[in-house]
Chain A
Amino acid sequence: MAPYGLKRLALAVPTLLAVSFVTFFLGYLAPGSPIDLLVGQHADPAIRRQLEHEYGLDRPAMVQYADFLWGAVRGDLGHSFANGGRSVTDLIAQQFPTTAFLALLAICTAALLGLPAGVLAALQHNRLPDRAVMTQVLVLVSLPPFVLAPILMLCFSLWLGWLPTSGWEGPAYWVLPTVVLAARPGAVLARQMRSSMLEVLRQDYIRTASAKGLTGTQVILRHALKNALLPVLTVLGNSFGYLLTGSFIVETLFSIPGIGYESVHSILARDYPVIQGVALLVASVFVAVNLLVDLLYVAVDPRVRHEAAR
């Protein structure tokens, strides 16, 4: 277990290096100088050179990259070109908790609705509940947050007046963003739960369990569900990628002061240090979550554990 964990952790390093390399050089090669943002395009060339020197932008690209990387390792992601030159780390530290909280709410909602729906569909295979769930899944997978959100806002905020349209001031404000963000992961989880449950129900040990006289509920809870949940873990890990990207859109839609909202502003304003910092953070979170899922897999499934030990 421990050596396997270390091996997986070591494999995450090149991934993060690659992400940092790509995000840095995309920013480096992008058209338009960041100096333009500070002083405008027609500033005195002497002032421009002065500023370039101050920000270290006149150094060779590889030196700048090494500097960026060394800073990132120490938790220093540079300074925003906007926001009065605030430190990017500060900015992220202030806004990430909101995004993480929203993502957590969404993934819990998705799991609480999606998993039972998937189990129900599998148990009622090819009957009405199954078809209803699968149709629902296809519809929810097809509707992006920026289609779902305005529809829900119209119904629940403007017509019924039950929930606020935007802001982040208390539980009532959490409902719509959570539902919008949870829709797709919930649908994907339901689909995976259904197919993995169907797969397990075909296995010999399920027939054995029924044959030895266990009740249907016992077979499902103790034998089928436990085994069927394993592949779902992977999907759960992958959903985090969606949740982080989805937060860009959901936070913009509902004016939620999180990292997604900030990122969209930074992208529109070409505030590269913030974009690079967020990209690195998102990649780290994504890699960490998938690593956690892999380790969890090993911990829960003895078959994988033996495979990993070899």
Chain B
Amino acid sequence: MSDIAARAMPGTGARLLRHPVAVAAITVLALLLLAAAVGPALSPYSYDTEDRAAILAPPGPRHALGTDNHGQDTLTRLLHGARVSLSVGLVVEAIEVLIGVALGLLAAWKGGRLDLLLMRITDGMFAFPDLLFAILLVGIMRPTTAAGSFLTVFVALALVNWPGMARLVRGQALAVRSKEYVEAARSLGIPDRRIVMRHVLPNIVSPIVVAATVDIAQVILAEATLSFLGIGLQPPYPSWGRMISDGLPYLRSAPQLIIYPALALGTVVISLNFLGDALRDALDPRMRG
């Protein structure tokens, strides 16, 4: 994939690096990834260590960002929450891209009944608000174990999100399909598989990358929403959405309980959205509005 991407987008990296907003967004996201990867190991606390001597402690030397109503260290929980958000975002998006690209290409290339079926299914999914569908799925299947809740969230979000990607890929592939170079490749007798992989896919990578970047933000928000409602990731494992809802009763006495996870979530999503925007500019200079 990276090989295809590199050939499809010469000079993209350089263009992206000239974009100050993109550089800022990439830096923030890289730091967050690093924090999520090594942060929890550096913390003296575990996400469920309860410090009975410090219930609802304000930020201080022992607990850099304070503690919650169980005396759990907020910074440690934020770092674990970053793992949740980022892994849900990346894994769900990867599944979505795999399904979306495969089905979208197949539908565009084969056409006929398969295409019709895909369009009907996606039409049906579009006729129902995405997040609500995810809420219903997770809410009804609500597992009781932490691992089960993780899996349910992944499955529900991937299930709800793939149709958008499939539609995008199909539309783009259909547009490329009628181009002269594809026609030329066909008349040379190059097998379909090779045409799709070497001539079609590289030419539609840009919109896929842009859509996927912005989609990751949506997936992260969706997970936070599910967890906020109490049907996402089950405690004691922390999720930013859950931390916000747990902090609500203490809005007056300990607003930091909400402010930190809210800031974290806002920062990630804003960074991804700005990056998506910058990528759109860098990948397709003609699209510059």
Residues from chain A with Cβ under 8 Å of B127 in the complex: 15, 19, 283, 286-287, 290
Residues from chain B with Cβ under 8 Å of A139 in the complex: 270
**Which of the candidate stretches A41-49, A104-112, A244-252 sits at the interface with the other chain?**
A244-252
By the criterion CB–CB under 8 Å, are A27 and B140 in contact?
Answer: yes
By the criterion CB–CB under 8 Å, are A150 and B137 in contact?
Answer: no
Partner of A275, one of B131, B136, B259, B266: B136
By the criterion CB–CB under 8 Å, are A272 and B140 in contact?
Answer: yes
* Chain A interfacial residues counted at CB < 8 A: 46
Closest A residue to B123 by beta carbon equals A15
Using C-beta atoms within 8 Å of the partner chain, give the interface range for chain B: 35 or more
A2 at the interface (CB under 8 A from B): no
CB-CB contacts below 8 Å: A254-273 with B: 264, 267-268, 270, 272
Closest B residue to A240 by beta carbon equals B129
By the criterion CB–CB under 8 Å, are A150 and B140 in contact?
Answer: no
Closest A residue to B214 by beta carbon equals A141
A195 at the interface (CB under 8 A from B): yes
* Chain B window 94-125, contacts with chain A (Cβ cutoff 8 Å), 1 for yes, 0 for no: 00000000000000000000000000000110
CB distance from A23 to the nearest CB of B (A): 7
By the criterion CB–CB under 8 Å, are B139 and A275 in contact?
Answer: yes
User: CA A155 – CA B141 in complex, angstroms?
Assistant: 38
* Chain A window 117-160, contacts with chain B (Cβ cutoff 8 Å), 1 for yes, 0 for no: 00000000100000000000011011110110011011000100
By the criterion CB–CB under 8 Å, are B273 and A142 in contact?
Answer: yes
CB distance from A59 to the nearest CB of B (A): 20
- Total cross-chain contacts (CB, 8 A): 121
User: CA A89 – CA B240 in complex, angstroms?
Assistant: 35
Closest A residue to B264 by beta carbon equals A147
CB distance from A57 to the nearest CB of B (A): 16
Q: DSSP majority for the B interface?
A: helix
B60 at the interface (CB under 8 A from A): no
By the criterion CB–CB under 8 Å, are A244 and B129 in contact?
Answer: yes
Contact A267/B129 with A146-B224, A249-B228 known, Cβ cut-off 8 Å: no
Residues from chain A with Cβ under 8 Å of B31 in the complex: none
By the criterion CB–CB under 8 Å, are B137 and A26 in contact?
Answer: yes
By the criterion CB–CB under 8 Å, are A275 and B225 in contact?
Answer: no
Closest A residue to B252 by beta carbon equals A158
Instruction: Give the most central of B124, B128, B248, B274: most A CB within 10 Å.
Output: B128
Residues from chain A with Cβ under 8 Å of B123 in the complex: 15
By the criterion CB–CB under 8 Å, are B129 and A143 in contact?
Answer: no
Contact A142/B241 with A18-B124, A31-B141 known, Cβ cut-off 8 Å: no
Query: 18 more A-B contacts (CB under 8 A) besides A142-B270, A150-B251, A158-B255?
Result: A19-B128, A23-B136, A141-B273, A142-B266, A142-B272, A146-B245, A146-B262, A147-B262, A150-B255, A154-B251, A241-B129, A242-B131, A248-B132, A248-B229, A249-B228, A253-B248, A267-B229, A275-B140
